[in-house]
Amino acid sequence: MMAYLNIQNLRVEYVRDVPTLDNFNLTVNEGELVALLGPSGCGKTTTLRSVAGFIEPAAGTIKVAEKDYTTLPPNKRDIGMVFQSYALFPHLTIFDNVAFGLRMRRIQRKGIKKRVDEVLQMVDLQDYADRRPVQLSGGQRQRVALARAIVIEPTLLLFDEPLSNLDAKLRVEMRNEIRRLQQRLGITALYVTHDQVEALAISDRVVVMNKGEIEQIGQPEAIYNQPETAFVADFMGFVNCFDADVTSKEQSILALQAQDYTLHATYTGDDDPQRVQVFFRPDAVALSDEPSENSLNGQVILRTFQGQVVEYIVETALGNMIIYMPEDAPRFEAHVTLSLKTERLIAIAYE
Amino acid sequence: MRRLNQNRTIVILVAPALIFMVLFFVLPLAFLLMQSFQTDDSVLTLQGYSDFLTSRTSRIIYWRTLRMGLLITGICTLIAYPASFVIARMPTRRRTFLLSLVILPLMTNAIARTYAWLIILGRQGIINESLQFFNLIDSPLRLIFTENAIVLGLTQLFLPLMVLPLVSSMENIPEDVVEAARSLGANRLMVFFRIIVPMSMDGLVLGATLVFTGSVTAYVTPAILGGTRTLLLSTLLYQRAVTLADLNRGAVVAVVMILTTLSVNLLLRLLRR
Amino acid sequence: MKTSRWLYFSVFLLYFFLLGPFVIIFIAAFGAESTLAFPPTGFSLQWFARIVETQQFIDSFWTSLWIGLGATAISLMFGIPVAYALVRFNFKGMSAVETLFSAPILVPGLVIGFSMLNFFVLFGRIEVMTGLLLGHTAILFPYSVRVTSVSLRNLDPAVEEAAVSLGANRLRAFMLVVLPNMRSGIAAAFILGFITSFNNVPVSLFLTGPGITTLPISMLSYMEYYFDPTIAALSTVLVIFSILLVQLAERVLGLSRFI
């Protein structure tokens, strides 16, 4: 597939000679929704705003459908953008908000009416055309923002943390609605968020960013199950971690020695690392009665009931581990054996 | 490239107003400052300032202006402080109404606001008439054109400027802080001095700055209630500049006035931190 | 409780002091005597009639009105762009610009008026109306910049970016999206500016000239020659005028929040 959005060697400086982004490369295919995921300050919003044209890159190029956008003014880009604060025009009705972009394009009155009605229908707001933004709920405002962005038939849709002002239930609804519309219209989209679940749920590919660098690009399943860096593992909820020495490597399985334990873990890299960090999730553990191949011994030092699961903190020779159990199995201060599956133990080489 | 654009945008936005202000505000003031260092023969000299400092009249007027400024600030504080405390604790609607009554006088010109004192303090005013009616005096007292008349007039004029900042700083003291102090064993008086006073300090200092600088520079009230008999810095400036047409010595008074208000402003701004 | 009774007394004292003089002026304005005696012995509307008969008041009222409207309009026209630059951009010399545009509040009005008079004289005679207009415009900048800044600060900058991303250039985005949302700030600045100019004495004192004077200045000069209650009547009219203006402001600003 041909790259539709093509960012090459992008460099952005807010302060002279201090790059926030440097040598940043990213391609997005036509019709794809790519999520930029990372903590605040990782450069995801900067990337988005560079594509929108609100930030002038110090170096590099941005192309959309082979057309050079790098120095094109933001109002000539035909990009639809959905803002975190919605950024609706407070003084205009919902109809006029949505019609704004069309009026800027000097489309005839009749055409505007038809297009706006169509799009309002799409987001299920046809009955709200004469209201003003203040009269709408958060979810409705978000749908207006979405309608306003897609009505201009944009070359590209940009989302800047669009759901962060909504409550949990609405967030899921809106997430699905955005995805449904984006797929139906076949618009290419870039979606910035700091919420892992949201990024995984909505996108075709996830770009995990940290300190202006891309840590990992991949499909949601790959990002979730096979983190390639310690940062991604940590960000994706691999809260348990210990150090180990590599004794041998066979295809993607490493034999490890961590203090007195001999363990096997999965490794996706092509090289032969000497020393690795091993990560696993709280739910990747089973309890067993006797020590087996991949197991750790420990003692429960805290148990807290959390509804669906019970969380235990288990003290082991490799540090405290957090594990989730579906039912209230061991007692407080009980000695337990944690049995770990090789495919769910992820080894990551020290840089 | 866009950075250049941004600089150009800022210049386009700011330049017209900036040119206006430099031309019709900064340059006149600079010219005034220059004038204060000149005499009729147009030489650079400190003569004007040394005359001002050595002249008995101008020294009396300067100290009178400062003294009255302090006195007015003090009286305004005494009345406005407890009153603001009460107003700040009132329910929103009543507070809004009372504050609009405080703002109303500010919307009216100083002459209308001072004129009543002529009726109260004049030869045939309320006070003289009633004193004569009760045979307490034989002939009318001279109440007008005195320092006290000016103090009364300016206190009334500037009370709103003390009340408004005080109320807004006292509104911001959360009720739970007061309750917390009470629960920790503070009595009302301790709450007042340990909580209310420190937390409304900003409002008090701002109010005091406004009232003091206002009193030291006000013209209308001293002109009406002090006349030429009880001159203040402002009426002295007018007299020298317009009545005597002595622009250079008027400029000296103007510079002294600016220096006084600026130094008080700076001093109290330091206090606010 | 003793303390609270004392506290309430201070509120009474405050309003007695603030509003008492107005009450006296109202009463005096309807008096029959031709001197400032109190209380008046008869009722009369002659002093109100006297206002309208005095050509000086009529002329100076119009002068004040035009100067107030003109100076406020000019200071807003120049001041709104400054407010926009201060709120939306970061630039070198920003705090200097901010200080300069709030300076006219810090410098005594009398000094501003005096310095302008001297300066204008330097360039030969400037027309009185022009001089008044320039002087009043300069002292209104702090209000027009600061008050409009507040309403700009309350407007989400993303709203403007949204307009730009939808195809508007910066100027159109400003005219179509920013300006309409600054309405209440501009209205507030306009009313505040107009009142400040309309009531100004210290600057006008120096800049009025032969034949052309503002209302407050003509009130002052009338008081030098006459001791009748005309000024009380005129003050009464002005107080009512300012009550109406405050009401209007409340209406305009209050309503705009719901439109």
Q: What is the mean pLDDT of the segment spanning A298-327?
A: 88
Nearest to C121 by CA among B140, B80, B160, B35: B35
End of a domain among A230, A262, A291? A230
Sequence ranges of the domains in chain C:
21-53+226-259, 70-215
Find the CATH number of the domain harbouring A295: 2.40.50.140
Asked if C127 reaches chain A (Cβ–Cβ under 8 Å), the answer is: no
Longest dimension (CA), chain B: 87
Regarding predicted confidence, which is higher, B190 or A224?
A224
Interface residue ranges in chain A relative to chain B, Cβ cutoff 8 Å:
56, 71
Return the exposure string of B136-161: e unless at least 16 CB atoms fall within 10 Å of the residue's CB, then b. eeeebeebbebbebbbbbbbbbbbbb
Q: What is the mean pLDDT of the segment spanning B134-144?
A: 83
Tell me the C-alpha distance between A43 and A49, whole Å: 10
Residue A244 and residue A100 share a domain: no
Closest alpha carbon within chain A to B2: A56
pLDDT digits (tens, 9 = 90+) for C97-118: 999 999 999 999 999 999 999 9
Q: What is the mean pLDDT of the segment spanning A287-297?
A: 80
Beta strands in B89-184 (DSSP E): none
In the prediction, which pLDDT does A2 show? Answer: 66
pLDDT digits (tens, 9 = 90+) for B157-169: 999 999 999 999 9
Count of positions (residues) in chain C: 259
Cross-chain residue pair C167–A91, CB shorter than 8 Å:
no
Residue A191 and residue A87 share a domain: yes
Cross-chain residue pair B3–A56, CB shorter than 8 Å:
yes
Residue C1's pLDDT band, with cuts at 50, 70 and 90, is very low
In the prediction, which pLDDT does B258 show? Answer: 95
Upper half-sphere CA count for residue A279 (Cβ side, 13 Å): 23
In the prediction, which pLDDT does C33 show? Answer: 74
Question: Which of A84, A100, A145 is facing C163, going by the closest CB pair?
Answer: A100
* A208's tokens: 């995990």
**pLDDT score of C37 more than 70:** no
Nearest to A82 by CA among A177, A161, A24, A137: A161
CB proximity list for B19: less than 8 A, separation 6 or greater: none
Query: C31 phi and psi, to 5 degrees?
Result: -80, 160
Distance from CA of B3 to the nearest CA of A (A): 8
What one-character DSSP code corresponds to residue A343? Answer: G
End of a domain among A230, A254, A275? A230
Beta strands in A236-289 (DSSP E): 240-250, 253-258, 261-266, 275-280, 285-288
Residue C36's pLDDT band, with cuts at 50, 70 and 90, is low
Tell me the C-alpha distance between C152 and C165, whole Å: 20
Closest alpha carbon within chain B to A54: B2
Regarding predicted confidence, which is higher, A267 or B3?
A267
Q: How high is the mean pLDDT of chain A? A: 91
**pLDDT score of B1 more than 60:** no
Question: Which residue is it, tokens 């219209």?
Answer: A185
Tell me the C-alpha distance between B235 and A87, whole Å: 55
Nearest to A227 by CA among A187, A268, A271: A268
Name chain B contacts of A71, Cβ cutoff 8 Å. Answer: 1
**pLDDT score of A50 more than 90:** yes
> Taking phi first (over 0 means left), then psi (-120 to 50 degrees means alpha), and beta for anything else, what does residue A6 get?
beta
In the prediction, which pLDDT does C258 show? Answer: 36
**pLDDT score of C8 more than 70:** yes
CB proximity list for C7: less than 8 A, separation 6 or greater: B82, B83, B85, B86
Name chain C contacts of A104, Cβ cutoff 8 Å. Answer: 166-168, 172
Closest alpha carbon within chain C to A150: C166
Interface residue ranges in chain B relative to chain A, Cβ cutoff 8 Å:
1-3
Nearest to A116 by CA among A72, A149, A82: A149
Q: What is the mean pLDDT of the segment spanning C233-255?
A: 82
Name chain C contacts of A77, Cβ cutoff 8 Å. Answer: 165
The residue of A49, A56, A69, A77 whose CB has the most chain B CBs within 10 angstroms, and thus the best one to mutate to test that interface, is A56
Q: Could you give the number of structural domains in chain A?
A: 2
Q: Which helix (H) or strand (E) holds C102?
A: helix C94-106
Cross-chain residue pair C199–B109, CB shorter than 8 Å:
yes
Closest alpha carbon within chain B to C81: B13
Name chain C contacts of B113, Cβ cutoff 8 Å. Answer: 21
Tell me the C-alpha distance between C21 and B117, whole Å: 7
Name chain A contacts of C92, Cβ cutoff 8 Å. Answer: none
Residue A140 and residue A26 share a domain: yes
Beta strands in B185-226 (DSSP E): none
Sequence ranges of the domains in chain B:
1-36, 49-272
Cross-chain residue pair C219–B111, CB shorter than 8 Å:
yes
Per the CATH hierarchy, to which homologous superfamily does domain C70-215 belong? MetI-like (1.10.3720.10)
A·C CB contacts under 8 A: 67
Residue A290's pLDDT band, with cuts at 50, 70 and 90, is confident
Residue A165 and residue A41 share a domain: yes
**pLDDT score of B72 more than 60:** yes
Question: Which of C155, C164, C183 is facing A75, going by the closest CB pair?
Answer: C164
Distance from CA of C117 to the nearest CA of B (A): 8
Angle, helices C55-88 vs C128-153, to 10°: value is 40
pLDDT digits (tens, 9 = 90+) for C158-180: 999 999 999 999 899 999 999 99
Q: List, as one string, the DSSP characters of A9-54.
A: EEEEEEETTEEEEEEEEEEEETT-EEEEE-STTSSHHHHHHHHHTS
In the prediction, which pLDDT does B273 show? Answer: 62
The 10 Å Cβ neighbour count of residue A10 is 25
pLDDT digits (tens, 9 = 90+) for C184-231: 889 989 999 999 999 999 999 999 987 899 999 999 999 888 888 899
Q: What is the mean pLDDT of the segment spanning A38-45?
A: 92
Asked if B267 reaches chain C (Cβ–Cβ under 8 Å), the answer is: no
Nearest to C214 by CA among C61, C104, C34, C27: C61
The residue of C98, C114, C139 whose CB has the most chain B CBs within 10 angstroms, and thus the best one to mutate to test that interface, is C114
End of a domain among A211, A230, A249? A230
Q: What is the mean pLDDT of the segment spanning C42-65?
A: 92
CATH topology of domain B49-272: MetI-like fold (1.10.3720)
In the prediction, which pLDDT does C38 show? Answer: 66
Domain ranges, residue A74: 3-230
Name chain C's partners: 3 or more CB pairs within 8 A: A, B
**pLDDT score of A243 more than 90:** yes
Residue A196 and residue A100 share a domain: yes
Contact, A333 vs A286, CB < 8 A?
no
The 10 Å Cβ neighbour count of residue B134 is 8
Distance from CA of C62 to the nearest CA of A (A): 36
In the prediction, which pLDDT does B96 show? Answer: 85
Distance from CA of B12 to the nearest CA of C (A): 8
